[in-house]
Structure 1
Amino acid sequence: MTCPTAPNIVLVMTDQLRADFTAGVGFALDTMPFLDSIAAEGTRFRRAYTTAPACVPARTSLLTGRWPSTHRARQNSTLSPLDVSRGDDLLDVLRGAGYQLFFAGKTHMYRDDPEEYDAFSGPYGHTKGPDTTTEQRAFTSWLNSIDMGPTSAPTPFPAEQQYAYRIVSDTIQQVDARDADKPFFAWVSMPEPHNPYQVSEPYFSMFDEDEVPHRSCGPEAAQAKGGAYKWLRDLVEEKRPGYDDNWRRYRATYCGMLRLIDDQVRRLVDHLKAQGLWENTLLIFLADHGDYVADYGLQRKGAGIPEALARIPMIVHGCGVRAKDNTKDFVSIADILPTVCEAVGRPIPLGVQGRSLWQMVTGSDYPAAEFSDIVTERGYGGLPYPDDARPPLHFPYEGSRYDELNSVTQSGSSRMIRHDRYKLYEHVVDDGELYDLDKDPMELDNRWDDPSLRKVKADLMQRLHRWSVRLTDDLPQGRYTARLAQHNWYRTSKKDGA
């Protein structure tokens, strides 16, 4: 479809959604049939990555088009705008292009002031919402009582009380009250399927424990990898003995949560169609990062940058977007801002490091070398803690409560680069890591010192160095005039190679 005017833009963002958990990408269970159908009509990126496997760093990258080492929000506790280095961001660009700005859902970012939007509903959290009714307050109270889950029984509230349902209802109200003479940007930010792992019927029983595909590896893998993996695994086992015994149940619940989200996206799209808005709407669907979902015997996130956390679902559908299952190009959450800039005819702001995907999704020529690799970062700095460390945390060692993002799991600094079938890590100290993901998708066989991969390692390190230079901050702008790359593509010559 083509757009006669500036397209409406709907950004649906989920929290902690695995990229490989739908039938459309080969998962054994049909968890998100509607999103898979949308992907079949638009462009699905199979090699999409977050800039960091944590909420605030990733969401700040989406807004700014910059990596965490540049925008400086490197942990979830750095929420203040004063902690974020940026120029014009996504909201600035769209406001400058004449868009109405709507937001509904989880914020966990620096643009959380309702006054910055034409309509704002929230903030929703994982165990809190803007509750106004007795039943809403009861649901939120129940969420807090389950200690971030997972649960072993259906949620004792109807699906209409789930935050994903309420957020879509809020978005529908915002769209219906819009100024019809202006395009709109609706950011639909769902806290799910982030823990607590819970869901109402019929979703709780939709996928049986016995039909859940077997996980790729269990607790033995966390012990073998050591470091933060072992530390986190040991900590949670200490706090919740035997928690991993129920991994099939909570995986089934997670899959039910995906279907709940899928049904809400369908409900939103159906409403846009009924209002005659769908033909002029650009839909972007993605997550901020992934989830272990019991791989490594772990829940949530925290240790390392495995594919389960680093890869994200990313789908673009609508005005001018061609149907393509893109299995080749490495793209990033930081690419959303420059892509939207070109979709609405605005220049990409200085300081943006992401690359426009607009030519890619609309079927124009683009350089393969520019998208032949990608970088993800992790860590807030300093030295990494050893796996027997017991430093003070922001929660007690006693009791069942824990936060997987903490001083130990996020300590130090790491960067990983993906190219072709290989993945390389460089850490602030000690040796790096090198994996052949075709043979070792769970990253259990470190080939760093393997002489047969010497050339592969050298090539990846050169690519990572190039990215490190590229991620140097261009802000603040001084008196010199930068020569900006068209579409923010740097690698356009044949000698760059793929």
Structure 2
Amino acid sequence: MTDELRADTFGFRGHPIVRTPHLDALAKDAAVFTNAYTNCPMCAPARVSLATGRYGLSHGVLDNAFAPVEDEVSLYQTMHDHGYRTINYGKTHFNTPGSFGFEENYPRGLFDDGGVSVFGVTDRELLNRSVYKKNEGEVSLIIHGKNPQKPEETADSRVTRAYIDRLDELKDSERPLFYRLSIIDPHTPYFPTEPYASMYHPDDMPLPATWNEDLTSKPLMHRYYYRARGFDRLTEEDYRKSIASYYGLITHVDDRVGQVIARLKELDLYDNSIIVFTSDHGSMMGEHGFIEKWGIMYEEVCRIPLMIKFPRSKYQGSYDSFAEIVDIMPTIMDATGIEVPACVQGTSLMPLLRGDEVAVKTEVFGHIFTGGLQDEPALMIRSGQWKLTLYPGQEQLHDKLLNDHYLKYTPMFLEDVVEGELYHLEDDAQEVHNLFHDPAYRKIRDQLISRLDSWRNELGRIANYRGMERSEKNTVNSYHLMQADNLAKMQRLMSAEGTITQLNR
């Protein structure tokens, strides 16, 4: 499990710059799903959707500030109940009081020397030797730079080493093993160590065509985030450096994957194992002027890598059918002969792999929600080549801001409120031409909105986020602090208690 890793940044996907030889080799042995989507491009919601096989509206983790409703059943608990030894190394971010079914859990914090967090460099001596830039605004993170640590000293490298070393003991386990490695890279900070920091030169990084796009045709939420996060103050050089730093982190991820695969082969575990490689969501690298994520549902954040290597490399090949992060849980259970719980909303990908054409998925769904700014989540559907996202309640965004917010009472809120996005991705892969308010496409827009409504109704009971009192919401407006990798850290970061809210149905 990685974090913030785009689906298109691999050699085996034809990327012309990023070097990923170990993942390229794994892909040759795996079933590769080239149209896999997260159901929310935000950490906790996506990770709980993977764990439960259920959409965020149902399990209750709409953004990083929510905990799952109490009766949610996880993949890890189910595997444990069927005799598997369930062990996690690294980031969880489920917002649960326990480990969500892992009988052993070794969080990333155990391997972190405290020098680098997702928000920046906290060690003064390390800070003195560091070179980096943070975006000047909300959700202020390191968007490019060079980490002076040695590559083996970073927290993710230490987690990976501990995971690999433990294999010597676990290879002889009498119980079947569910063994999870979850690293944060290439999540921010985009702050690679050498040699990765110099591996890709900024001058050689091509910019996306939309890096300085006019956002007037986009929803107000996009325009707000673009300004509030200070992207309007970035230079062309900043974007090129950010891309180079991000690519360096990806190659570092690839090298760690290579270490894991090499050890599995040395211990004769590779051929008999199911290996799943994925990410919770992707990241923007200058597209539409954005870096990282938050408040948007463009392809760059919604598409995720997903490959599954089966024993003896069965089912290897490329599969173009849609897949969702909620499908991973039922696929693993189906592949291991465990009955999928009736509450699971994802579908197993095994029938597709076995050649059942009826199993081809033609739609994917998702949401994005930041409790400090929205009363209702934005909902997305992709059906065939059409993609629609609804952003309800944007006219209320101005009232959500604290009185001293620098964008409050500014002309930005006099601009047109664009209620959604509609793109035909075959003709407009970069999602430039928003057809949502174009009369010529009203029929297809209304059909997709109707399908979104029916999908929502098909989910059954949903989390009662509408019934929350204002005092229970993220009233401090510090939604940007919610990226820490466990509940205790989040609570310490926040200026008020009770920010992590558990909903009911």
TM-score over 0.5 for the alignment?
A: yes
How far residue 109 of structure 1 moved from its aligned partner, in angstroms, is 1.0
Q: 1:118 offset after TM fit, Å?
A: 4.1
Per-residue displacement from partner, 1:371-423 (whole Å, max 9, x unpaired)?
Answer: 01111112257xxxxxxxxxxxxxxxxxxxxxxxxx23x55322111122110
Q: Can you list the C-alpha shifts for 1:4-38, whole angstroms capped at 9, x where unaligned?
A: xxxxxxxxx11111111223223221332221221
Q: Deviations over 1:269-303 (max 9, x none)?
A: 10011011111111111110111122222221112
Name the amino acid aligned to 2:90: G
Instruction: Give 1:337's aligned residue.
Output: 329
**Separation in structure 2 between the aligned mates of residue 450 and residue 355 of structure 1, nearest angstrom:** 34
For residues 217-232 of structure 1, the aligned pairs below 5 Å read 217-222=210-215, 224-232=217-225
Asked if 1:464 corresponds to 2:452, the answer is: yes
- Secondary structure, in 3 states, of the residue corresponding to 2:283? coil
Deviations 1:69-126 (A, max 9, x none): 11111110114xxx425442101211022111111111211357469534332234xx
Which residue of the other structure, out of 70, 80, 89, is the alignment partner of 1:95?
Answer: 80
* 1:422 aligned residue: 386
Q: Which of 364, 367, 370 in structure 1 is aligned with 2:358?
A: 367
Report the identity percentage.
29
Count residues in correspondence.
424
Residues in 1 aligned to 2:322 and 2:306: alpha-carbon distance in whole angstroms: 11
Pairing 1:447–2:435 present: yes
Q: Which residue of 1 aligns with 2:376?
A: 412
**Amino acid aligned to 2:111:** P
Distance change >3 Å, CA 116–CA 92, structure 1 → 2: closer
Q: What is the CA–CA distance in structure 2 between the aligned matches of 1:265 and 1:48, rounded to whole Å?
A: 20
Normalised to the residue count of structure 2, the TM-score between the two structures is 0.77
Q: Distance in 2 between matches of 1:268 and 1:55?
A: 24
Q: Does 1:130 align with 2:111?
A: yes
Q: 1:222 & 1:293 partners in 2: Cα distance?
A: 16
Aligned AA (2:344): V
> C-alpha displacement at 1:51, in angstroms?
0.9
Residue equivalent to 1:84:
69
- Is contact 1:293–1:300 with CA below 8 Å preserved after alignment? yes
1:184 is displaced (CA, Å) by 0.8
- Tell me how far apart the structure 1 counterparts of residues 113 and 200 of structure 2 sit (CA, whole Å): 32
Task: Identify the residue that residue 314 of structure 1 maps to in structure 2.
Answer: 306
Would the aligned equivalents of 1:139 and 1:161 in 2 still touch at CA under 8 Å?
A: no
8 Å contact from structure 1 (residues 72, 85) kept in 2:
no
| Closer/same/farther in 2, CA of residues 198 and 434 from structure 1, 3 Å limit | same
Secondary structure of the corresponding residue to residue 225 of structure 1:
coil
Is 2:253 aligned against 1:289? no
User: Which residue type is aligned with residue 389 of structure 2?
Assistant: Y
Distance 2:437 2:325 in 1: 32
> SS where residue 150 of structure 1 aligns?
strand
Identify if the C-alpha distance between structure 1 residues 341 and 143 changes in structure 2 by more than 3 Å, giving closer, same or farther. farther
2:244 aligns with one of 234, 249, 252: 252
Match of 1:495 in 2: none
CA distance 1:248–1:119, shift in 2 (3 Å): same
The partner residue of 2:162 within 164, 170, 189 is 170
In 1, the alpha carbon distance for the partners of 2:329 and 2:370 equals 24
In structure 2, C-alpha distance between the alignment counterparts of 1:134 and 1:45, rounded to whole Å: 36
1:151-198 Cα deviation digits (max 9, x unpaired):
44x321110012332121121133222252111111111111111111
Matched, 1:183 2:176: yes
1:28 is matched with 16
Shift in CA distance, 226/358, structure 1 to aligned 2, threshold 3 Å:
closer
Letter of the aligned partner of 2:55 in structure 1?
Answer: W
On the 8 A contact 1:350/1:474 being kept in 2, the answer is no
Residue 200 (structure 2) pairs with residue 236 (structure 1): no
Question: 1:42: which partner in 2?
Answer: 30
Q: How far off its partner does 1:247 sit?
A: 0.8
**How has the CA–CA distance of structure 1 residues 167 and 366 changed in structure 2, closer, same or farther, with 3 Å as cutoff?**
farther
- TM-score when normalising by structure 1: 0.78
Cα pair 1:244 1:294 within 8 Å, conserved:
no
Does residue 369 of structure 2 align to residue 376 of structure 1? no
Work out the CA distance in 1 between the residues paired with 2:425 and 2:102: 43
Distance verdict in 2 for CA 1:214–1:111, change over 3 Å: same
In terms of mean alpha carbon deviation, does 440-449 or 189-198 score higher? 440-449
Across the aligned residues of Structure 1 and Structure 2, the Cα RMSD in angstroms comes to: 2.9
> Can you list the C-alpha shifts for 1:236-272, whole angstroms capped at 9, x where unaligned?
328x943664110110110010000001011001001
Q: Distance in 2 between matches of 1:50 and 1:104?
A: 22
User: Which residue of structure 2 lines up, in the alignment, with residue 279 of structure 1?
Assistant: 271
5+ residue gaps in structure 1? 1-12, 382-406, 476-498
Alpha-carbon shift at residue 215 of structure 1 (Å): 1.3
Q: Is the 8 A contact 1:121 1:170 kept in 2?
A: no
TM-fit CA distance, 1:445 = 1.6
Q: CA deviation at 1:360?
A: 2.2
Residue matched to 1:197: 190
Structure 1 residues 422, 73: closer, same or farther in 2, change over 3 A? same
Counterparts of 1:208 and 1:131 in 2: how far apart (Å)?
Answer: 28
Deviation larger for 19-28 or 100-109: 19-28
Shift of residue 53, structure 1, vs aligned partner: 1.0
Look up the match of 2:422.
Answer: 434
**Measured at CA, do residues 307 and 113 of structure 1 come closer, stay the same or move farther in structure 2, by a change above 3 Å?**
same
Other-structure match for 2:297: 305
> What SS class does the counterpart of residue 109 from structure 1 fall into?
coil
In the other structure, the counterpart of 1:402 is: none
SS state of the match for residue 47, structure 1? strand
Structure 2 residue corresponding to 1:59, chosen from 31, 38, 47: 47
